Chain A
Amino acid sequence: MAHIGDRLNDFAVRIGTVNGTGSASANSLLLQALFRMGLPVSGKNVFPSNIQGLPTWYEIRVNKDGYTARSPVFQLTVAMNPQSYARDIEEVESGGWVLYDSTKELDESLLRDDVTFLGIPLAQMCAERFRRARERTLMKNIGYVGALVALLDIEMDVVQGMIEEKFSAKKNLIESNFTAIRMGYDWAREQWECPLPIRVKRMDATKDRVMVTGNAATALGCVYAGATVGAWYPITPATSVMDGFKEWCRRFRVDPDTGKHRYCILQAEDELAAAGMVIGAGWAGARAFTPTAGPGISLMSEFIGLAYYAEVPSVFIDVQRTGPSTGMPTRTQQGDLMLVVYASHGDTRHIALFPANPKECFEFAVAAFDLAERFQTPVFMVSDLDIGMNDWMVPRLEWNDAYRPDRGKVLSAREIEEVKSFHRYLDVDGDAIPYRTLPGVHPKGAYFTRGSGHDKYGGYTEDSDAYVEVVDRIARKIQSAAEHMPAPEVHAVEGGARHGIVSIGGAHWAVLEARDTLLADGVPTDYLRVRGFPFGEAVREFLDAHDVIFVVEQNRDAQLRTLLAIETECPKSKLVSVRYYGGQPLSKEHVLDGIRPHVSRRKSAVAEAAIR
């Protein structure tokens, strides 16, 4: 039988449960306990587009070296859902363990002889200990947490402490949770040799870290940026951005004297209206945003073109999910890259920011508003379901109290008074950015905003030259934003490598891990992660400096590679595409599978022939 040796602080567990049975809080209890023990940890929620009844999974990876990308290999499976037993059992690594509810015998056909089955009669134990049906269901989850505490050597004090914190207001719940935890723990200690070779021991790797989802951090960024108007139409995986915004606003934005709101959240009738509201508010001078996903961006496209051409600051947050169409709404992807940067008909091109974790979600959300107002244009902040909805361990967020919003060129009443005449689209400073005025400020500042052809004075036009002059300036304006994007993150080996890797967004973490493996294999690589669009000089230089560039991304059609090819002079033949787009977060294995054939091919002609 295959054997898994000592794997201290280095393993992955998958928990398969039924959606809507309360397993989510049990799973986050586990993740939180590991985090509090100072262990680098990541949790991925693999959930169905369903409210109750379908299989759902939670994956926890502990890694002493700090790798947090998804691991597709699990040493232990907690199988609590008979519907998914077959798959759950099949996917455990050989030599691993299956913890299952043995109240009902496992069907013989499911058994494997290369894994160890750990049966615990949770349903029966809960029936004996708890009276109410709901409690029995919920406490099964806490029961398997108890068993895992014993099996993985998690510190019981930490877990119990968290339960006490969580239910400090409901003492009777503390008691039942304690009962359930002990129930699982004691059974494990009596029946099996604990801990397993996969186990944990306290570390000190999470001291200055916090655990947060990207959407919560994005929402907080909107609050800190001073956004006052949020408009939205509910859609997975973006909904929790507005949930978060509402929560933070309730906490920070209620006038203490009057109880009135220093914000306005409008739940629109659809995404078209949400876009219109953001544009209306931005035009009137508020910082406004809308969180959505790909289907929403598709609907918003007409309005996005209006904001681009009429030069209205507006922030669009796209939490990407698997497309096309409705696609797989609860799976992740990077399928909207092309959509956002060229959204809408006619010649349009948009500023976009690509965070790789919740910390960057917070920072880029703030930057998005500054860029939108500075360049008077729609700005996209593009994250994805994995970043947005999963809990991530990130460095503590920081805030500089000296920050003041960059409102761009907005004329005050006094300034309007002083100018001889005001023309909305005139390039007064030669930097392609015109001045704008807000409604209600001064009669001399009035102008007519339109998405139809206009000249630099803001007047309606059908004249070719007058039209071209304005659209050319807008093109220059957007291009000039390139050097104001967050700089790409670059990792280079000493002396530089022949092979370069470029990736974007949440693909980052798998690439970092894969690079280390490649290096250990004798293949050094340099790496650049794109963080903004339009691409700046640093991206061009990186492409120039390498003979072969692996472009790693999570979509079928190599959208980042296409963008690099369109937007830079880099020959397409240098750009080797590495893709994974099945809807799970990217793993190191995906990256290695894509890169290895090419690096070994260069190593040996024989191998090359074999591949052809």
Chain B
Amino acid sequence: MTYITKPVARHPKMRHNALGLEPRDYEGSMSTLCAGCGHDSVTAALVQAFFEMDVEPHRVVKLSGIGCSSKTPAYFVKEAHGFNAVHGRMPSIAAGANAANRDLLYVGISGDGDSLSIGLGQLCHAIRRNIDMLYLLENNGVYGLTKGQFSASADVGSVSKKGEVNRNGPIDPVSVALALGATFVARSFSGDKKQLVPILKAGLAHSGFAFVDIISPCVTFNDHEGSTKSYAHTRTHMYEVVETDFVPLRREITAEYGHGDVHAVTMHDGSVVHFRKVAEDYDPTDRGAALEHIADVRKRGEVPTGLLYLEETGEDMHGFENTVEGPLVELPYEDLCPGSGALAELQKEWW
């Protein structure tokens, strides 16, 4: 069913999307995060992506774990159901909800503590199941909400606000995702909307698990010198492997993309992602090459960004489980209950 709440007093100059909605129709309640927090920029990019993708707000499902990052589902698409679950366990909520109703658009928001420590197992298994959802890891190298402890993505030698130096090696989320067979792997920076928005849009269109690691500085606990997830550090060390453009299905593909070193990947729904190669030898559809490239860039002390890998298999959790086309929640009870006759028949086997 389609319900579009009538826009109240539309600003005539405001942009509208195909549904007649404005960007602010995709907003949520006021953020309570610190001013300047990277997570708020990610929220803004998401709002733009939803708007540009003409998403019906109430068909979105927003899920998260616990942390500053996990609070953000309250700050976008207020007309969508949201579920702020327990720390690190959002992927299992997503799996269950998606199993029940595969027709909704699932977006999960998590942090580096949420996804790489307490919830690393669930993240890995969500990737294995290829749950059809967009999964954002808002990565700041710290536990923001519990006041600045190192997370598992903190680089060796990172200095905390209290002056402690991190000695444990980091978990690189994109390498993990690639190694586990993720079908969509990207990295971006909360401060780079130009790069981030097309990636989010491609992630929304992806059929399967779209994993986006977003460096999202914590201004309060991790935006000082000595931190490798600060604004300054990320800006100077970002290395865009590929430039990504996303063209939704119904838009015309303009000539702009027709030349040069461009690699086009058609998504399951028919829309197209264009990778403009920055690095000579980069092939975004070759998992091994992607892993190698990430390692090379990292060796140079740079952070590889962009849509790093994309594979449209079309087989998600429901494909593996061979479930019916429509949502399980909409099956009539008559199709679920075998009835008294079958019960009597069945019991003949019970000796």
Q: Is A212 an interface residue (CB 8 A)?
A: yes
Which residues of B, 295-351, contact A by the 8 Å Cβ criterion?
A: 317-318, 321-325, 328-329, 331, 333, 335-340, 342-344, 346-347, 350-351
Report chain A residues within 8 Å CB of B333. Answer: 226, 404-405
Please measure, in the bound complex, the distance between the C-alpha atom of A224 and the C-alpha atom of B347, giving whole angstroms: 14
Stretch at the interface among A277-285, A514-522, A542-550, A559-567: A277-285
**Proximity bits, A241-263, B CB within 8 Å = 1, else 0:** 00000001001110100111111
Please measure, in the bound complex, the distance between the C-alpha atom of A286 and the C-alpha atom of B101, giving whole angstroms.
8
**Total A residues in contact with B, Cβ cutoff 8 Å:** 76
Given contacts A266-B95, A439-B81, A439-B104, contact A397 B347 (CB under 8 A): yes
Instruction: State whether B324 touches A258 (Cβ < 8 A).
Output: yes
* A310 nearest CB neighbor, chain B only: B83
Q: Which residues of the other chain, A, contact B89 by a CB distance below 8 angstroms?
A: 272-273, 276, 302-303
Residues of A within 8 A of B5 (CB): 443-444
In the complex, the chain B residue whose C-beta lies closest to that of A285 is B329
Instruction: Assess whether B198 is interfacial by the CB under 8 Å rule.
Output: no
Contact A266–B324 (Cβ < 8 Å): no
Complex alpha-carbon distance, A259 and B90, angstroms:
31
Tell me if B84 is interfacial: C-beta within 8 Å of chain A.
yes
Contact B347 A440 (CB under 8 A): no
Say what secondary structure dominates the interface of chain A. mixed
A398 touches B340 (CB 8 A): yes
Of B79, B86, B122, which one neighbours A451 at CB under 8 angstroms?
B86
Task: Check if A339 is an interface residue, CB within 8 A of chain B.
Answer: no
Contact flag A275-B101 (CB < 8 Å), given A399-B340, A440-B59, A442-B3: no
The answer on a CB contact under 8 Å between A283 and B93 is yes
Interface residues of B in 95-136 (CB under 8 A from A): 95-101, 103-104, 121-122, 124-125, 129
**A contact residues around B61 at 8 Å (CB):** 284, 439-440
A442 to B335, CA, bound (A): 25
A211 in contact (CB, < 8 A) = yes
The closest CB in chain A to the CB of B121 belongs to A269
The complex places the Cα of A266 from the Cα of B99 at a distance, in Å, of 9
The verdict on A26 contacting chain B, using a C-beta distance below 8 Å, is no
B272 to chain A: which residues have CB within 8 Å? none
Tell me whether A400 is interfacial, beta carbon within 8 Å.
yes
Query: How many Å from the CB of B349 to the closest CB on chain A?
Result: 9
Chain A to chain B: the 8 pairs with minimum beta-carbon distance, closest first: A280-B96, A276-B92, A286-B100, A277-B96, A439-B81, A443-B79, A281-B96, A280-B93
> Using a CB–CB distance below 8 Å, which chain A residues touch chain B?
32, 35-36, 210-212, 220, 223-224, 226, 228-229, 231, 248, 251-253, 255, 258-266, 268-270, 272-286, 288, 302-303, 306, 396-401, 403-405, 413, 437-452, 460
Beyond A255-B324, A276-B93, A284-B329, 18 additional contacts (C-beta under 8 Å) are A210-B347, A223-B336, A224-B343, A231-B96, A252-B342, A260-B325, A264-B99, A274-B92, A276-B89, A279-B85, A280-B94, A284-B61, A286-B99, A398-B343, A399-B339, A413-B1, A439-B58, A440-B61
